[in-house]
Amino acid sequence: MNSQSGGNGEYHIPVLLQEAVTALITKDDGVYVDLTFGGGGHSSAILERLSETGKLFAFDQDEDAFRNKPNDERLILIKANFRFFENYLRYHQVTAVDGVLADLGVSSHQFDTGSRGFSVRFDAPLDMRMDRKQALDAQKLLNEYDEQQLADVFYYYGELRNARQLAARIAQIRKQQPIVTTGDLKQALKGMFKPQHEKDLLIQVFQALRIEVNGELDALKEMLEQSARVIKPGGKLVVISYHSLEDRLVKNFLRAGNFEGNQQKDLYGNLHAPFQPEQAKAITASEEELNRNPRSRSARMRIGIRNN
């Protein structure tokens, strides 16, 4: 999720802004990467901390974000999924950086733009693509995945216990007519959840579809592995995540160097892991920030220091 300054001050309120930037910057003339530019809030704060010789590469696959680009020659903004960031850095003759920041998830702008289909609050086309040029959207997924594929998406990415029943209901409904809008989807799932839990569980359904449409967990894994290759010893990896699936991957990778969390040591007892976690527990938003920005409630920030 990202941020504020640059073009549109309301695009997104950056989460854990000062904490993230303070953790990231180890030298003011360094080279840094903001993998999720969004509204430019984190990027602008990074640029404020850098000297004239510092450099920032930023990435975003959503064309809307490019309206927020500040006029600063130290910033290179690249339209691409961050799963390819190592290749793009290499294209710019950069093989090592001092720090990488990734603020995962969906920006406030994307949630609040009803036509994008990210939010349960609006009746809109089932889209959910962060890159609107890609072929797969949520509508195509819901109408073309087979029942078992749908059940897997809901179970693994939405952590929904009744994933099979949800998939069966959708398979039944779409035989009569395609599921085209977010309203169609909510209507199709009417009565599948207890009323007191309906809103939260619908959000989990939308989360599952969004993760599958955008390949978010695979992209996160690729990004973490690339970070280990490009961050210099002593440099920082700062990741802000918004649900347990993301946070678990980040935590395991920082602690063990793999996504399962299995710590492996050499003959001398040294851990095979590229990063050392800066703290045992994730950093969360302060009460002040929660009052200012309720969407920061689910944010979990983890920091890794690149080992020598």
Residues 81-109 have pLDDT tens digits of 999 999 999 999 999 999 999 999 775 55
Three-state secondary-structure class, residue 204: helix
Instruction: Write down the pLDDT at residue 264.
Output: 86
Instruction: Write down the pLDDT at residue 21.
Output: 98
Residues 174-222 have pLDDT tens digits of 999 999 999 999 999 999 999 999 999 999 999 999 999 999 999 999 9
Maximum Cα–Cα distance across the chain: 64
Six token digits for residue 75: 């910033």
Burial of 267 (0-12, 13-18, 19+ CB in 10 A): exposed
Residue segments in the chain with a per-residue pLDDT below the cut of 70: 1-12, 107-115, 117-118
Six token digits for residue 223: 């990004």
What domains are defined for the chain? 17-109+216-306 (3.40.50.150), 115-214 (1.10.150.170)
Instruction: Write down the pLDDT at residue 109.
Output: 53
Q: How far is CA 252 from the centre of its chain?
A: 17
By residue count, the chain amounts to 308
Number of Cβ within 10 Å of residue 250's Cβ equals 27
